[in-house]
Amino acid sequence: VIITVCLNPALDITHRVPAVNWSGVNRPAGVWARPGGKGLNVARTLHAIGAQVLAMGLAGGATGQAVQSALAQLRVPAALTPISGETRRTFAVADDSSGEVALFNEPGPLVSAGEYREFSVQYQRALAGCRAVVLSGSLPRGLPPGTYAELTGLAAAAGVPVLLDAHGEALTRALAAGPAVVKPNLAELEEIVGRSLSGAGWAAVARAARELRTAGARAVVVSLGPCGVWASTGDGDWRAVPAAAVAANPTGAGDALAAGLAQGLVLGRPWPHRLRHAVALATASVAAPVAGEFSQGDYDRALAGIRVSRDEAG
């Protein structure tokens, strides 16, 4: 089982409207509500590719209930710890006439120390039977920035590898706990090393990634959007580049990448294989209209087009 942790999940509501009247009454032509938040997107993608997964995290109120029943309907196994606050909604209005999307993200609940402790107990219990942990997404209000460091440390102590998808202080603090993989994008990597990397060449990216490995991460996979990924691993540095940039819905592509990397980790695949499949999954998920979903055809096509090369420059 792969545990995906989502401490700040969401109910993602989408309204498709033929032509939005921004100062009047609209009757959406399509309405969707899905479990969201990065950790739950990872869980849904892992479930879709046939991995055994358990979504853990925090959920509260009527919206928390809605998230749990939506997960149950999708048959994604979940054990979310109850909190007294109300799980957040995100609300997207997709305007067919302009192609634009307006997104409204609620702030989410305040989590108490006691609620986090209760989650932590359940998490430690679940670590016993598990093969990997994915920690991903922003921390809810009330949890200190050292939270992912603690959860990474608990997994390490139980001999369970961690894939960490976070940024800023939550990421830097967790490095010393030795996550198996961290997965910053270029902006997040820049934020951590404190210098600009765009246009600085692969050697600069390699040096920055190596700093994160020196700080404790066993591998660093830098996601570069439509350019694929650059990876610094114990088995050398690698690039994986998709055949062509896909212009559709990039939301959730990073979560699909994380899901692919977690599965490759659990299956013990060599790095080139892991990267190829993870980037194919991310590419296919960009082609899908909805985060956490993809079509097998898109996946197969993307897989065929990806070039993986060892990078000797670093």
Active site residues: 255
Q: What tokens appear for 38 in the block?
A: 């990065």
Residues 6 or more apart in contact with residue 244 via CB below 8 angstroms: 305
Judged by CB under 8 A, the stretch of 96-104, 167-175, 226-234, 279-287 that binds its own copies is: 96-104
Instruction: Write down the least CB distance from residue 180 to its own copies, Å.
Output: 31
Closest to its own copies by CB, 6 or 59: 59
Q: Is 84 in the site for its own copies (CB under 8 A)?
A: no
Instruction: Write down the least CB distance from residue 288 to its own copies, Å.
Output: 20
Cβ-contact 264, 180 below 8 angstroms: no
Q: What is the x/- site pattern for its own copies, positions 33-72, by CB under 8 A?
A: x---------------------------xxx-xx--xx--
Q: Which of 96, 100, 235, 300 binds its own copies (CB under 8 A)?
A: 100
Instruction: Write down the least CB distance from residue 36 to its own copies, Å.
Output: 14
Instruction: Write down the least CB distance from residue 132 to its own copies, Å.
Output: 30
The footprint of its own copies on this chain (CB under 8 A) covers a number of residues equal to 34
| Location of structure tokens 């990597």 | 189
Q: Alpha-carbon distance 152 to 36, whole Å? A: 22
Ramachandran area for residue 292 (φ above 0: left; ψ -120 to 50: alpha; else beta): left
Judged by CB under 8 A, the stretch of 14-22, 134-142, 178-186, 226-234 that binds its own copies is: 14-22
Judged by CB under 8 A, the stretch of 92-100, 177-185, 252-260, 305-313 that binds its own copies is: 92-100
Q: Which of 2, 3, 10, 13 binds its own copies (CB under 8 A)?
A: 13
Cβ-contact 5, 140 below 8 angstroms: no
Angle subtended at Cα 293 by Cα 182 and Cα 1, rounded to the nearest 5 degrees: 55
Q: Is 248 in the site for its own copies (CB under 8 A)?
A: no
CB count in 10 Å sphere of residue 75: 7
| Location of structure tokens 């007294």 | 84
For residue 261, give the nearest of 309, 206, 220 by alpha carbon.
Answer: 220
Angle subtended at Cα 14 by Cα 10 and Cα 17, rounded to the nearest 5 degrees: 160
Q: Alpha-carbon distance 14 to 27, whole Å? A: 13
Q: Is 105 in the site for its own copies (CB under 8 A)?
A: yes
Question: Which residues bind to its own copies, rule: CB under 8 A?
Answer: 13, 15, 17, 20-28, 31, 33, 61-63, 65-66, 69-70, 89, 91, 93, 95, 98, 100-107
